Amino acid sequence: MIKLRNSRSLLNLHQSSSNQKPGKFYNNADSFSMSFDDAWETLKRKNNWAIISDEEKTKVVLQNLSEHPFVQESYETALKIAEFRVRLLQLK
């Protein structure tokens, strides 16, 4: 499990949040990116989202997507894509 700053207040952020159905996940970057964006937007609505760093937010989202085949097969690549999307889309 990933240890985050203020982890007690972030416990409510760790929830399944993707809109894709379990049978609709594919082991590719496109499927991961769509799931990442959905999870980010869902978690953004949580009370504590604004107080944590982008790095911590990315880790929380990846933790929520731990069942996604792309994350399971290529965690490091998924992390790089996630970090890129945060910068590219200026996610907050």
pLDDT surpassing 70 at residue 9: no
Q: Is 56 helix (H, G, I), strand (E, B) or coil?
A: helix
- Asked if pLDDT for residue 53 goes beyond 50, the answer is yes
Candidates 65, 63, 24, 58; CA nearest to 44 is 58
Query: Picking from 17-31, 34-48, 53-67, which range would have the lowest pLDDT averaged per residue?
Result: 17-31
Question: Rounded to an integer, what distance in angstroms lies between the CA atom of residue 49 and that of residue 46?
Answer: 6
DSSP alpha helix (H) spans, the chain: 7-10, 29-44, 54-64, 69-73, 75-88
Residues ≥6 apart with Cβ < 8 Å to 46: 12, 13
| Structure tokens, 65 | 């997507």
**Residue 28 CA, distance from chain mean position:** 15
Q: Residue 17 above 60 pLDDT?
A: no
Which tens digit of pLDDT belongs to each residue from 27-43?
A: 999 999 999 999 999 99
Question: What whole-number distance in Å separates Cα of residue 35 and Cα of residue 76?
Answer: 16
- Would you list the domain boundaries of the chain? 28-88
